[in-house]
Structure 1
Amino acid sequence: MIFLQSTVTRETFWTIGPVGKAAFYFLAAAAVLVFLYGVYERFARYTRGTDDWFERLDDVGTRIVSSAKIVLSNEKQFDRDLYGGIMHAFILWGFLTLLIGTTILGIDIDGYRLLTALLTGEEQSFFVGDFYLSYSLVMDAMGLLFVVGVGMAIYRRYIVRNHRLWGKHTSLEDDAFIWTLFLLGVGGYVIEALRIVGTGFPSFETVSFVGYFGALVFDAAGMSAGQAETLYWWGWWSHALLALGFVALVPYAKPFHMISSFANVVTRDEKAGQRLPGVPADLAPDDIGYTSVEDFSWKQMLDMDACTKCGRCSAVCPAKASGRPLDPRDVILDLKQYRDDRDAGRTESIDIVADGGTSVVDSETMESCMACMACMDACPVEIEHLNHFTEMNRRLTETGQMKESVQETMMNVFQNGNTFGEPERKRGDWTDELEFEVPDAREEAVEFLWYVGDYPSYDERNQRVARSMARVLHEADVSYGILYEDEKHDGNDVRRVGEEGLYEMLVEDNAAAFEQCEFEKIVCTDPHSYNTFTNEYPEMVDDFDYPVYHYTQVVEELVNAGRLGLDGTELDYDVTYHDPCHLGRYNGEYEAPREVIRATGVDLAEMPRNRDDSFCCGGGGGGLWMDLEEESKPSEERLREALEDTDAGAAVEKFVVACPMCGTMYEDGRKTGDFEDDVEIVDITELLVEAFEARDARAHAGTSDSGGAAGGPATADD
């Protein structure tokens, strides 16, 4: 024995000897140098990327603190996946504890002991007594969590074979990573157990409860102290070499995500997806979008390196679930692989995206995207998929490879300001069937400028929504007005299919029209309009600082103020509600629609996938303008879910929406999915009008003392 067993500590380099110790330090220094060079080389590569459109490094301190909260809390991992959240939390917290513990040990050996020897002539250590006991207990406990977490990962990957962990980019690298972590965790306990056997089972080592248990197992198996001492030398070196090799290879393989992921969270755009990067004014058409790896910004390259192949984005993607050729994870990893192959000279230059032929990503893959942002919401490392997808859509647009139906729609918007190709003068024709005049915001000052939108203006089914909304505003005596033929398409989805130039034109036209009116606030029928007016127009127009509301937010205030004359008993049946992506996931508005729905008296049965987990209707990102091959339409799956998986089940009478695009897609899904006899699609405004009529009928029959709102109810022949 080199130290007395009565001393409450342990010898770090027990049985290793001076030569072995020197060799270890040499190898450790080499591993650290290789690690540092690799990290430098990876980040130096980012400096060769183009500038990012948005500021990513402002207020770095706040960014780091908020990112540390996100990472350490594992909040993104727990979303939709309790097992995965617990698993990752165990691995992360265990790994960090072991890393900190190793650092503390290094400070004692290579810092404190050397310093005290120089100052006092006698080497001292703080790695003794109560500190050592506390250290040993914490390290054993957290190390056990680490091993359990890795074991959970192995079980999920190889026994359960969770579908989202396997794909075209799954490789030996993934196997090596998880098994290396497992061997490091278990190996640490094995050599600890060997040391306890070899040093005669010191009584204080019971605090190292996992290692002590292992030692008891070895002892019961007949292992002697001498055998343990010999095996310890081999075990210690095996563990040390594996650990040093892991450290050295971190920047060159999957473990780099431990660094790149945190960097990606730090540099995230809080409005990613809600707003998209623009196109520099001096950029030639041939250079718009992804043309080569040189077009990737440093943040887009960091996105690629941050991807851990976890497949969370793939699991929630409605396009993939519908059988469309899109897997968000594969797109990001395809771009990364091509970038790495080009940097290493392993492949020739090809198109990043193209319609047929040889390309990194096929045009059909990009056409499949619904711009619902589910992938980004699910991503635990804040990869901004939609920015990448939009760059590729812009490339398809500039090269004339956009789907024909979308090209026709874009031409309609360019020529007539709407997706239907109808004359601008007909934009306000939906008002003709109302029994009251809808004010013209161009001719009188109003509180709310109501941006009606394309579908409520021109689509026969959605015109009923517009008339219902008008009746709600009239009923509550709201000061409002519309733009009639001066209103143009908002451009939200025009931008997301890649038509940036047309989008910029629409912004200019609408902003100019707004400027000619006297109003206080904007209210939108469509969440897509609400999103782009709120998050994107201010990026393009300096003085675009109007308060913007979705109609449900305005109506919620009217309900709470008692201006609609509802008492919550007007309707009596079961409904369910679909959260629109652009209202909910994009902009975080979940309560206003529900408050309005409940105000009518109906029983609201929540969809299993609701709020930020809502499943897209399929209409976003230009999906409304395409006819795509699908195994099952997202709208059909959603209606099935409403009738089979909600608490009310088949008792659900109405499927309530708050978006004209959603209404259009679900009316289509109701027909193609054979749900016409099972459920009715209604907008919230239509539900309100039904409640008005029930209230008025009750009052007319003498069953209520309520006489309606001031001024009396207006009626519409819808």
Structure 2
Amino acid sequence: MLPVVPIQATEGATRKTFWLISNSEKVLFYFLATVTVFVFAYGTYQRFARYARGTADWFDRLDGLAGRIAAASKIVASNEKQFNRDLVGGLMHAFILWGFLTLLIATTILFIDEWYRVFTIAMGDRQSFWVGDFYLSYQLVTDALGLLFVVGLSVALWRRYVARTDRLHGKHTDWEDDFLVWSLFLLGAGGFLLEGLRIVGSTEPIVTVEPVSFVGTATALGLAALGVGTSAAATIYPIAWWSHALLAFLFIAVIPYAKPFHMISSFANVVTRDEKAGVRLPGIPSDLDATNAESIDDFSWKDMLDQDACTKCGRCSSVCPAKASGRPLDPRDVILDLKQYRESLEREGGETKDIVADGGGVIDATTMESCMSCMACMDACPVEIEHLKSFTRLNRQLTDQGDIQPSMQDVFQNVMQKGNTFGDSPGARGDWTEELAFDVADARETDVEYLWYVGDYPSYDDRNKKVARSLARIFEHADVEVGILYDDEVYDGNDIRRVGEEFLYVEQAGTLVDSFSECSFEKIVCTDPHSYNTFKNEYPEIDFEEFADDPMMEFEIDGYWNEDGDVEVYHWTQAVEELVEGDALGLEGTELEYTVTYHDPCHLGRYNDEYEAPRELVRATGCSLHEMPRNRANSFCCGGGGGGLWMEMDEEEKPSEERLREALEDTDAGGAVEKFVVACPMCMTMYEDGRKTGGFEEDIEIVDVAELIVEALEAKDATAAGTVGSGADTAPADD
């Protein structure tokens, strides 16, 4: 049992910073430190000079710089993105970050105090602020945060080398990963070893030297138990001190040239992030000579920064539905493949290759065809890498080269010739309304509150037509003024844009905006979350006037549409939720006795942060809603986005099949789930297909939220009719 000792006296408490280090060694130390700082500064300058030579990005990422830095500091200091889906990883990184910053500040304080002493000696009065209460507080804080630093790095080593967490290893794993984690661990542990040796080397009893340095004291006791005495500590200390110093110099010098640079580039990447990245995409100029990804120089300085900011953590890889389905896409590898190719050209002037091609390119065409544009990679990335922006650039290059699947070429042809992805007659777009017992207003002829953009699948696909009719019945029941465009409605272009067909997207957008301008309405409501996203976030970004001279662009729009957001855009669940809240549907007391689960569509959830409106509507029907493990921002894509609806892909298991398996096996209700609820026509299509191919036809039914609401309304009407009938049958005869 340790003896009880009094609290260390505060007055005059301090220690010698260069214990057992001679003056000549101090001179050598400062010379090496100067060289190290020069190497670090020059390397960092080269990195940022490289960005300055990169092509311009599509919008100003340095506007409001002070606010950007403040917001980035909050994100980085809180480690909020690190905790996303990984509590242990979040704590590990927080310990390492806070510990590293604390030790960096502590070293800076020592440096300042050392030169403060030199200055005051020159003035004839040697002084130091590193004494007394300040010194003791310093020792306590550095020991505490240094311990967290070592603990965090120990967890990192365990995950990488013992548990071998899958996402930490890949084709780009190399010596840089080992150097980063081991050098930091040895620096942290080495600091405590030095502290322990210094305490053992003191002539006083170990436990009385510096009680506030609790880790150092424990280390000293451990060394003493191993037989290290005062003289041995004095012998070992200078060797350990120089080993520690040289490793620190090496680490600092290497920072700009290897993975440790992410400590700088990651923060810069968060500062310059686009808060709507992926939700909106950069347009391309109307100049037909403009290139997308013919060479690595087509990528902007922000694309380069994205590549440097990647820490190879694999969070994007672990959430990618394409990778999980066995498709040849790993979001991390695409970013790092581009970086590796750029650096090989800069370093060696090596052989140039196609950036993206069907075989032989830096990135293979099938890799980019695999992307579903679900944005899970970007949501998971802790350093705000904008994968989808780079992926779209690559897809545009594939489209320019004609390296796309025949099925996608057919879709492009259908859109160009018929204005829809099915290739059906534009005149048949409103035929789904014919089975309704009421007319759906023509927004071209009458003023309406809601201009309803129905979309391709609800207009032409038999299964989704049922959803459109259900939604029409809901609007009719609520007595809402809703109108549609009938044969003036064309495809919105969201997904062909993400496949790379930008000019066709602009043409569709201009055609639709022309139609909008001919109608009188208050709000736009969309059946499809993909349409909702593109109307809300992307159409306002298009400078239509730039394309006015293009004979293919037959629209008359001056400048931008809805640039100030005057036209409100809704997904239908948001609009109907407002109706339910106002009791316009009379759903209160409805009790559908179904056990259901709900799938968050990517373009409604991750893209636009709308998670509650569909759930509130499901609950309003009285259904028992059970969440899947992967829900809200962590939802797993159906596989239909980014052109996936039309692509032919080899995959081990379709994303839709995996999702249905999850619904039946991993929800709290398990096999009791009767209905799989969606709020997106593409999801409906993909899950109806997955239900067949996955063998789930007898196990679960796919329904849209709108269909549940209509069933609830019909059930309530039937109940009310039965109650009235029952009352009439039992009424007294003389009444």
Query: Which secondary structure does the structure 1 equivalent of 2:723 belong to?
Result: coil
Q: State the alpha-carbon separation in 2 of the partners of residues 705 and 322 from structure 1.
A: 55
Q: Structure 1 residue 600 and structure 2 residue 621: aligned?
A: yes
Q: How does 1:306-705 map to 2 (within 5 A)?
A: 306-356=309-359, 358-540=360-542, 542-544=560-562, 545=565, 546-702=567-723
Query: Which secondary structure does the structure 2 equivalent of 1:656 belong to?
Result: strand
Query: Which secondary structure does the structure 1 equivalent of 2:373 belong to?
Result: coil
Which position in structure 1 is the counterpart of 2:241?
Answer: 236
CA contact (8 A) 1:91 1:146 kept: yes
Q: State the alpha-carbon separation in 2 of the partners of residues 554 and 510 from structure 1.
A: 21
Q: State the alpha-carbon separation in 2 of the partners of residues 534 and 340 from structure 1.
A: 38
Q: How does 1:81-100 map to 2 (within 5 A)?
A: 81-100=86-105
CA contact (8 A) 1:450 1:482 kept: yes
Q: Structure 1 residue 300 and structure 2 residue 318: aligned?
A: no
Q: State the alpha-carbon separation in 2 of the partners of residues 142 and 204 from structure 1.
A: 20
Q: 1:212 to 1:451 in 2, by over 3 A?
A: same
CA contact (8 A) 2:291 2:298 kept: no
Which position in structure 1 is the counterpart of 2:139?
Answer: 136
Q: Structure 1 residue 263 and structure 2 residue 261: aligned?
A: no
Q: What is the Cα deviation at residue 5 of structure 1?
A: 13
Q: What is the Cα deviation at residue 274 of structure 1?
A: 0.3
Query: Which secondary structure does the structure 2 equivalent of 1:77 belong to?
Result: coil
Q: State the alpha-carbon separation in 2 of the partners of residues 332 and 222 from structure 1.
A: 52
* Structure 2 length-normalised TM: 0.94
Q: State the alpha-carbon separation in 2 of the partners of residues 211 and 283 from structure 1.
A: 67
Q: What is the Cα deviation at residue 223 of structure 1?
A: 1.9
CA contact (8 A) 2:495 2:642 kept: yes
CA contact (8 A) 2:458 2:681 kept: yes
Q: What is the Cα deviation at residue 134 of structure 1?
A: 0.5
* 1:212-270 per-position Cα deviation (integer Å, ceiling 9, x unaligned): 11111222222221211111100000000000111111000100000000000000000
Query: Which secondary structure does the structure 1 equivalent of 2:355 belong to?
Result: strand
Q: State the alpha-carbon separation in 2 of the partners of residues 394 and 684 from structure 1.
A: 35
* 1:423-479 per-position Cα deviation (integer Å, ceiling 9, x unaligned): 111100000100100000000111110000000000011000110110000100011
CA contact (8 A) 2:639 2:654 kept: yes
Q: State the alpha-carbon separation in 1 of the partners of residues 573 and 286 from structure 2.
A: 37
CA contact (8 A) 2:293 2:397 kept: yes
Q: State the alpha-carbon separation in 2 of the partners of residues 297 and 566 from structure 1.
A: 52
* Structure 1 length-normalised TM: 0.96
Query: Which secondary structure does the structure 1 equivalent of 2:442 belong to?
Result: coil
Q: State the alpha-carbon separation in 2 of the partners of residues 316 and 150 from structure 1.
A: 24
Q: State the alpha-carbon separation in 1 of the partners of residues 386 and 589 from structure 2.
A: 42
Which position in structure 2 is the counterpart of 1:198?
Answer: 201
Q: What is the Cα deviation at residue 565 of structure 1?
A: 1.2
Q: What is the Cα deviation at residue 288 of structure 1?
A: 2.5
Q: State the alpha-carbon separation in 1 of the partners of residues 154 and 184 from structure 2.
A: 10
Q: How does 1:206-221 map to 2 (within 5 A)?
A: 206-221=211-226
CA contact (8 A) 2:420 2:456 kept: yes
Which position in structure 2 is the counterpart of 1:147?
Answer: 150
* 1:627-676 per-position Cα deviation (integer Å, ceiling 9, x unaligned): 21110000000001001111111111110000000000000000000111
Q: State the alpha-carbon separation in 2 of the partners of residues 501 and 704 from structure 1.
A: 61
CA contact (8 A) 1:568 1:598 kept: no
AA at the equivalent of 2:66:
G
CA contact (8 A) 1:373 1:581 kept: yes
Q: State the alpha-carbon separation in 1 of the partners of residues 599 and 538 from structure 2.
A: 25
Which position in structure 2 is the counterpart of 1:113?
Answer: 117
Q: What is the Cα deviation at residue 570 of structure 1?
A: 3.0
Query: Which secondary structure does the structure 2 equivalent of 1:70 belong to?
Result: helix
AA at the equivalent of 1:381:
V
| Alignment counterpart, residue 35 of structure 2, candidates 21, 30, 39 | 30
| Alignment counterpart, residue 222 of structure 1, candidates 218, 227, 230 | 227
Q: Structure 1 residue 18 and structure 2 residue 30: aligned?
A: no
Q: State the alpha-carbon separation in 2 of the partners of residues 346 and 165 from structure 1.
A: 30
| Alignment counterpart, residue 181 of structure 1, candidates 181, 184, 190 | 184
Q: Percent identity, aligned pairs only?
A: 66
Q: What is the Cα deviation at residue 704 of structure 1?
A: 10
Q: What is the Cα deviation at residue 103 of structure 1?
A: 0.7
Q: What is the Cα deviation at residue 118 of structure 1?
A: 4.1
* 1:264-287 per-position Cα deviation (integer Å, ceiling 9, x unaligned): 000000000000011122251xx4
Query: Which secondary structure does the structure 2 equivalent of 1:408 belong to?
Result: helix
CA contact (8 A) 1:446 1:481 kept: yes
CA contact (8 A) 1:8 1:204 kept: no
Query: Which secondary structure does the structure 2 equivalent of 1:377 belong to?
Result: helix
Q: What is the Cα deviation at residue 693 of structure 1?
A: 1.0
Task: Give the number of aligned pairs.
Answer: 698
Moved over 6 A (4+): 703-706
Q: State the alpha-carbon separation in 1 of the partners of residues 313 and 88 from structure 2.
A: 13
Q: State the alpha-carbon separation in 1 of the partners of residues 332 and 122 from structure 2.
A: 55
Q: State the alpha-carbon separation in 2 of the partners of residues 144 and 170 from structure 1.
A: 28
CA contact (8 A) 1:31 1:248 kept: yes
Q: State the alpha-carbon separation in 2 of the partners of residues 144 and 704 from structure 1.
A: 77
Q: What is the Cα deviation at residue 6 of structure 1?
A: 9.1
AA at the equivalent of 2:147:
L
Q: State the alpha-carbon separation in 2 of the partners of residues 519 and 204 from structure 1.
A: 80
CA contact (8 A) 1:54 1:269 kept: no
Which position in structure 1 is the counterpart of 2:46?
Answer: 41
AA at the equivalent of 1:226:
S
* 1:557-585 per-position Cα deviation (integer Å, ceiling 9, x unaligned): 01110010111433112010000000000
Q: State the alpha-carbon separation in 2 of the partners of residues 381 and 529 from structure 1.
A: 29
CA contact (8 A) 1:698 1:704 kept: no
Query: Which secondary structure does the structure 1 equivalent of 2:111 belong to?
Result: helix
CA contact (8 A) 2:354 2:362 kept: yes
Q: What is the Cα deviation at residue 51 of structure 1?
A: 0.3
Query: Which secondary structure does the structure 2 equivalent of 1:620 belong to?
Result: coil
AA at the equivalent of 1:661:
M
* 1:37-67 per-position Cα deviation (integer Å, ceiling 9, x unaligned): 0000000000111000122111011111111
| Alignment counterpart, residue 62 of structure 1, candidates 59, 67, 73 | 67
Q: 1:700 to 1:5 in 2, by over 3 A?
A: closer
CA contact (8 A) 2:10 2:136 kept: no
CA contact (8 A) 1:67 1:265 kept: yes
Q: 1:449 to 1:704 in 2, by over 3 A?
A: farther
Q: State the alpha-carbon separation in 2 of the partners of residues 283 and 127 from structure 1.
A: 66
Q: State the alpha-carbon separation in 2 of the partners of residues 420 and 211 from structure 1.
A: 72
CA contact (8 A) 2:657 2:694 kept: yes
Q: State the alpha-carbon separation in 2 of the partners of residues 230 and 557 from structure 1.
A: 77
Query: Which secondary structure does the structure 2 equivalent of 1:506 belong to?
Result: helix
Q: What is the Cα deviation at residue 198 of structure 1?
A: 1.0
Q: What is the Cα deviation at residue 114 of structure 1?
A: 3.1
Q: State the alpha-carbon separation in 2 of the partners of residues 99 and 123 from structure 1.
A: 25
AA at the equivalent of 2:624:
D
Q: State the alpha-carbon separation in 2 of the partners of residues 118 and 575 from structure 1.
A: 79
